[in-house]
Structure 1
Amino acid sequence: MKFVSWNVNGIRACVKKGFLEYFKEIDADIFCIQETKLQEGQINLELENYHQYWNYALKKGYSGTAIFTKHKPLSVKYGIGANDSEPEGRVITLEFNQFYLVNVYTPNSKRDLSRIDYRIEWEDEVREYLIELDSKKPVIFCGDLNVAHQEIDLKNAKSNRGNSGFTDEEREKMTSLLDSGFVDSFRQLYPDQGDQFTWWSYMANVRARNIGWRIDYFILSNRLVDSLKDSQIHSEILGSDHCPVFIEMDLI
């Protein structure tokens, strides 16, 4: 099975910049997107042979997630709390026979770190949610997680230490998640490969010079590691300030 995750930074804009061409070419079994930035009825994507699941934020033009899957899930859940909803449209969980697929757009703690406390609470809730799911069947957890975990995961680690997305608190929460029975699929296969990024600032020439961050992930339950065939970063694909990430799994 082939899986893709991509923060499209506005699906309507991304469609005008090659989204559908990439979507058809990659032919994924399950394709997850984050930061859709729209409300229901604002786009009609003709994706033949795919079931579509959307979680819209209440705030217009903000956040939002979606999953397009060739395989109809056993169940669908929006959000991670007791209620089957959440105001920023950040989480969708699909249950399949062999695994859960959880697509997440993690809140940014903001440049001034004004949202860091909320972010840390979010991290704890998501970790407990994933552990609960993992007790039932393996989990494939993907999305824009808004953290560069290790120094190798961003270009200028020293100068960015303590900045949003590279605070000690955020990095420690990722470590805690991985220590709870999960692996970073890309680092599992390529532990020492540097200069592999998934997000670049819109500042002039930053992407061309590959001054970026790796903040988009596929995180797997430990017991899925043997099924992992490949993990790729498609940095050549434009259309957003993020690029797609891809894994191939030996699953049916």
Structure 2
Amino acid sequence: MKLISWNVNGLRAAVKHDFVSTFNNLNADFFCIQETKLQAGQIKLDLPGYHQFWNYAQKKGYSGTAIFAKQEPLNVTYGMDIEDYDTEGRIITLEYANFYLVTCYTPNSGQQLKRLDFRGLWDDAFKGYLNSLAANKSVLVCGDLNVAHETIDIKNPQSNHHSAGFTDQERQQFTKLLTSGFTDTFRHFYPEETGRYSWWSYRFSARDRNAGWRIDYFLSSNDLIDQLQDAQIHSEIFGSDHCPVELDVDL
């Protein structure tokens, strides 16, 4: 089973940059996107063979997630059922007979870390939400989780030490999530590989210089480790300031 996750940084813009061709070429069983920046009715995608699930932010042109799935789920939920966190369209969960699939667009701590406290509360709530799912069945989690976990996951760790997405607090929270029972699938297969990033700033020719961050992930609950087959970062694919990431798993 192939799963793809991609922060498209505006789906309407991505469609103008061959999103549908990329979608078709990747031919995933599940294709999850973040930062759609859409409201209901603002786009119509013709994706034959896929069920479409959308979660929109109340604020126009902001955030938003979607999942396109070949297999119809048993159940679909939007958000974490926590009002303070469920107005920005950041989470979709599909339930199947033997696993949950969660896509997430984690809040950015913002300029001057103005939203760092909110981010910390979100991280706690999200960890609790995922563990409540994992108590019932296996869990796969994907999305732009807005944190470069280790120094190996960012080109310039020293100069970015206090930047949003690489603060000690955010990295520690991510460690807590993993130690609660989840695996970073890319690092499972490639524990020491360097220079593999999923996001590059549009400034300073960052992508040309590969001055990037790895902030897009597939996580799995630890009970699935033996079923993981491979994880990839498709840095060759353009159309956003992020690139797609992939997980192959036997489910």
Answer whether TM exceeds 0.5 for this pair.
yes
Deviations, residues 75-133 of structure 1 (Å, cap 9, x unaligned): 000000256x9210000000011100010000000021000000000000000000010
Look up the match of 2:243.
243
**1:83-232 matches, cutoff 5 A:** 86-232=86-232
SS in 1 for 2:112: coil
Look up the match of 2:68.
68
Separation in 1, partners of 2:101, 2:117: 27
Deviations, residues 143-174 of structure 1 (Å, cap 9, x unaligned): 00000000000000111111110000000000
Look up the match of 2:81.
81
Separation in 1, partners of 2:78, 2:176: 24
One-letter code aligned to 1:128: G
For structure 2, list consecutive stretches of 5 or more residues without a partner in the other structure: none
Separation in 1, partners of 2:18, 2:216: 20
Separation in 1, partners of 2:88, 2:181: 27
Separation in 2, partners of 1:107, 1:48: 31
One-letter code aligned to 1:229: Q
Count of residue pairs brought into register by the alignment: 250
Separation in 2, partners of 1:4, 1:146: 17
Which has the larger displacement, 199-208 or 144-153?
199-208
One-letter code aligned to 1:99: F
Separation in 1, partners of 2:107, 2:73: 26
Separation in 2, partners of 1:102, 1:205: 33
For structure 1, list consecutive stretches of 5 or more residues without a partner in the other structure: none
Separation in 1, partners of 2:163, 2:203: 17
One-letter code aligned to 2:180: S
One-letter code aligned to 1:186: F
One-letter code aligned to 2:144: D
Separation in 2, partners of 1:21, 1:204: 28
TM-score, structure 2 as length reference: 0.98
One-letter code aligned to 2:246: F
Separation in 1, partners of 2:87, 2:15: 25
Separation in 2, partners of 1:243, 1:163: 21
Percent identity at matched positions?
A: 58
Look up the match of 1:10.
10
TM-score, structure 1 as length reference: 0.98
Instruction: State the 4+ residue runs in structure 1 displaced beyond 3 angstroms.
Output: none
Deviation, 1:204, is 3.2
Separation in 1, partners of 2:32, 2:166: 24
One-letter code aligned to 2:58: L
Separation in 2, partners of 1:157, 1:26: 32
Separation in 2, partners of 1:239, 1:36: 13
Separation in 1, partners of 2:78, 2:172: 26
One-letter code aligned to 2:167: T
